[in-house]
Structure 1
Amino acid sequence: MANIRTIIIEDDHFNVLAVTKIIQNQFPEIIIVDTASMVNEAIEKINEHQPDLLLMDIHLIGGTSFDVIKQINYRDFKIVFMSAYHEYAVKAIEYAAVDFVFKPFDINDLVVAIDKAIDQMQDKQYALKIKTLFNNIDFELNQIILHGRDSLKAFKISDIVWAQAIAGGAEFHLSDNSSFIATKPLRRYEAILSDHTFFRCHPFNLVNLLHINTIDSTANTIHMLSGATVALENRRYNQLNELLQIQKEYVQTF
């Protein structure tokens, strides 16, 4: 592989030195073409150097790395984010399925993240991940990337009616009555979906509260607006009812 042109975007000088040393010791194919600590500086240097890889802290002088991404013209790169906080930014990154290393970082964690970024240099699906990140950059976290058997696909979370755990992954049922089979387990997506309007109604099922039509407490089933019938665990009935009531009251206030 040709040399990988890299920019370190980090406002802590000692972290820049630490990352530089790790790269020099572990990645002879990586060339650090520049560093930046400020938002405006980072924008200028990315557009100038057009790097293959960005190693970015979230919090910078003058703003965040998301401010940088929104304003750059050149976007054909891989990203590894590094930060100790900004939970909302971590969430955005999770939606886009790009890499994140917590600081203070373990050397092995950073090495693995960079290795993964290098592997993705040939990954045509990576463009979809970056596109989703750009779409979510204003923290309108309304999309999720699902890993299929042969591809990745982005979906609006509001279009997911319900999801069920299946052997080897999870099946997502959509508002247009289509479905998508993901190869990762449902629990991998639950943390993201639960931040929206999803509820674990059964050990194997998640439902979108906005798509519920009625609940049959006798049959322990949920009838969705799409016509689907989803199993409901009896002990979760009261909690689901409470959530639906809260949702109803919230909607009525607007």
Structure 2
Amino acid sequence: MINALVVDDEPESRENIRGLLRMYCPQVNVVAAVGSIDHAEAAIELHRPDLIFLDIEMPNGNGFDLLDRFDAPPADVVFVTAYEQYALNAIKRYALDYILKPINVDELVRAVERKLALDAPQRERMGLMRTEQRQADDTKRIALPSAKGLQLVAIADIVRCEADDHYTTFHLVDKKRYVVTRNLGEYEEMLAPHGFFRVHHAHVVNLLRVKQYVRGRGGYVIMDDGGHVDVSARRRDAFLVALAR
């Protein structure tokens, strides 16, 4: 997931960029959208974005002034402006891309793809780390209380956990189910360090068992056991960030 900052003094333009990214570039998470150089500087310090969509002509300074406030480039930059004459200066500033308004969706998508390509080696390293973590988790188990005592279940075999009043149902890869008399919140805290995420008030899912995310107001996920689980709109952005890690 790419964490992005949108900087444009026109509210309609900010919302347009945010909307296009949401619709066509699901790999991008907009952490903030601001309308001035000062606010942009503060947002960069706070969020440490990976990518900045930066307007050039703004009140009280331009996009280049923002970059001059940092000793080193704070992030990769895609300039988004109505003024073509700034292109050469943008290129000299090592801009990732330069998009003229009105925004062409294909150009926006290409800019994001360019960023993804640049980050690919880092993602490969992270993928290796996730594989190593998964191999470690394969040996870890959780004890589920049952009428006969305790049922030991491999954490890696848990697809999802579903709340049912004061009970929690564990759905496993072999289609087995275990119902335990504890609430979902207890298991959310226990499983979070192992790559589980609460996507909805009634569901905690194993991120490694998510096959597909389908967009919507919150959207839903298809798990590798075939189950469909709603993602709440409030948790969607955080879920997509966690899923991309």
TM-score (norm 1): 0.44
TM-score (norm 2): 0.45
